[in-house]
Structure 1
């Protein structure tokens, strides 16, 4: 099987689920999808990267505080 390794994705471009799977597996990122938990269930399904952020706020259940995490986050929608 051919490897589909991506080191980066671009807003506005389409990618197959198997390409995004490889990207997430090799890069420290967060991916939000409108396809619920089925993002990687159909390897050939295409997704469009619709937005990217340099980080996000996360609530800590340990101390109740909110922290900004500097971790690239991408929003994808199924095409």
Structure 2
């Protein structure tokens, strides 16, 4: 899968699931998809990167607090 290795993705561009799989495997990011857990089930399916954020808030079940996680986050949609 080395030929699909991406170091970055761009908003507005389409990528195959196998490319996003490689990106997620080699980069510390979060990817949110509109097709739930099926993002990587069809390697040739294309997804469009529709938005990106520098991080997100997460609720801790340990102490009930909300914490901002400074982790690049991408939203993708099936094409």
Same fold (TM over 0.5): yes
1:55 alignment partner in structure 2: 55
Distance 2:73 2:2 in 1: 26
Shift of residue 3 of structure 1?
2.8
TM-score (norm. length: structure 1)? 0.97
Runs of 5+ in structure 1 lacking a partner? none
Change (3 A) 1:22 1:2: closer
More helix by share: 2
TM-score (norm. length: structure 2)? 0.97
1:15 alignment partner in structure 2: 15
2:29 alignment partner in structure 1: 29
Query: Which structure 1 residue ranges, 4+ long, deviate > 6 Å from structure 2?
Result: none
